[in-house]
A and B are shown apart, each in its own frame.
Chain A
Amino acid sequence: MSELTEKAIRDSLPDAVIETTNVFGILNIKIAAASLVGVCEMLHSQGFDYLADVTAIDWQDRIEVVYQLTALERNEKLALRVDLDRQKPEVDSVTSIWKGANFQEREVFDLMGVIFTGHPDLRRILTPEDWEGYPLRKDYVIPD
């Protein structure tokens, strides 16, 4: 199944795919950040109706955002990954496709400082609104 999905992405958006890996049986596709929404719309129309998780990892030279998708009907899983510039991490929001992205993107913004362009209400969610810095960044200094 996952070969078909990979082929569908490559066919419809040939420039989007950077590399693919297999993480414990789940196809992980690294895509260009600019093509994220296009790929997500295509996947949504292919049955990937469930956005299970959005998170980000600080690799110190870049920030990687990871989206875990599921096609509930056929129980197929897939992860999308985008690399962002650590100085200015910005990527389009997927809230227009999955409303469940709203809280999850706010959390990533709050703790990792990723700007989701087009998010309807991008505010801090877990830390206080006047909090400074992004706690899950590796260079974050924990205040006394």
Chain B
Amino acid sequence: MSSRIRTELVEINMGPQHPSTHGVLRLAVTLDGEVVVQCDPDVGYLHRGIEKLAEMRTWVQFIPITDRLDYLASMLGNAGYIYAVEKLGAIEVPERAEYIRIIMMELQRVASHLVFFGSMALDLGATTPFLYSFREREDVLDLFEMVCGARLTYNYFRPGGVSRDLPAGFYSKTKAYIAKQRDKLSEYDDLFTNNQIFIARTRNVGIISAQDAINYSLSGPTLRGSGVAYDVRRADPYSVYDKLDWQVVTYPTGDSLSRFLVRVMEIRQSLNIVEQALDAIPEGELKCKTPLRLKLPAGEVYHHIESARGDLGVYLVSDGGEKPYRLKWRAPSFINLGALGTMVKGWKVADIVATLGSLDVVLGEVDR
């Protein structure tokens, strides 16, 4: 009898119904014991064909669909589309509207990063931080509800401005929220960020070098977690980002912990931006006059913004009519997910969860 134990590679499916895949994502994983030999993301379960839908809707009718891609950061989906439309149509935006927009975009980034914080903790087995961060996110959703009546899909941006003005009490409530959130962030750090078990699970796990991160077209906090200081808000400023004081956050290591810390620090930066914008907001018009049956001149534009997940690019082609001839949504989650296989190769199964969590993908945006 041979004393050697026969071993073989095993193929398993993580997902599409799996609590740590953040929606419907299937990972086809090949394992040698507990070691990952290959990890192949299988996406498309939520594919709704929004690029085709865009060709059947007018420029304005497409705005609500932009809410439903990255549904944790709908304001930023609105923004990515509207800035591209305004660039192609040479539509002017009143300064007050730009300030309102920047407040909404940065509050949205905070809300989105809070979901990341909670769900990353949950993925690694810590349930309490999830309750904490969702408690504070609720305050942001309350603010959004005050402004536009919706808590998740806002449909708030319009070509040339925003749909309605800030309501009475918004200023004081937001100020109070910023103070509270800053205080709570210290509490999160005590509870979770400095937790030794969390650090052991994420430090040096799922490393991607700066060079590889660039080569894989990664963007957003995922790229900045590899030490690359590329942020669209700084590289190609839009709105009024160049008038406010804020820092691009980077961490050099490229591991799951770095990506986590970038987002946690970005919450503070976003709060700084909102605070400055609230104090600097000028009086004036909310929206320049644009026809409801908007026509954009024939031509094309590629415009990008920094969404909560990275470099959100919107490519529009117009034939001069009321509808897009072609619309392409460069979804940062989709492209970031493309590097997962490389990042987890050679690591253990449990590290897939830590690494995927640190990419912060939203499947609505991946699948479009």
Interface residues of A (CB under 8 A from B): 23-24, 26, 49-53, 55, 57-58, 66, 68, 72, 75, 79, 98-104, 107, 111, 124-128, 135-136, 140, 142
Contact = CB atoms under 8 A, between A and B. Distances in A.
Nearest to B313: A53
Given A24-B301, A72-B214, A128-B44, A103 B337 contact: yes
Nearest to B334: A103
Given A50-B217, A72-B230, A136-B52, A55 B315 contact: yes
A104 B51 contact: no
Nearest to A124: B44
Contacts of A102: 338
Nearest to B367: A126
Residue among B216, B217, B228, B367 with the most chain A CB within 10 A?
Answer: B217
B328 to A, nearest CB: 4
B301 A51 contact: no
B215 to A, nearest CB: 5
Contact of B49 (A49, A100, A128, A135): A135
B300 interface: yes
B45 to A, nearest CB: 9
A124 B228 CA distance: 31
Given A50-B217, A57-B317, A126 B301 contact: no
27 contacts: A23-B301, A24-B301, A49-B215, A51-B217, A52-B217, A52-B311, A53-B302, A53-B315, A55-B315, A57-B325, A72-B214, A72-B228, A98-B215, A99-B342, A100-B215, A100-B216, A100-B218, A100-B335, A101-B217, A103-B334, A103-B338, A104-B338, A107-B334, A111-B51, A124-B44, A136-B326, A142-B52
Contacts of B43: 125-126
Contact of B236 (A75, A100, A135): A75
Contacts of B328: 53, 55
B304 interface: yes
A127 B367 CA distance: 9
A126 B217 CA distance: 19
B158 interface: no
Given A23-B302, A66-B315, A100-B215, A53 B330 contact: yes
A66 B338 CA distance: 20
B302 A99 contact: no
B22 interface: no
B51 A136 contact: yes
A94 to B, nearest CB: 11
Interface in B319-344: 325-326, 328, 330, 334-335, 337-339, 342
A135 B228 CA distance: 36
Nearest to B338: A103
A52 B302 CA distance: 11
B318 to A, nearest CB: 12
Contacts of B334: 103, 107
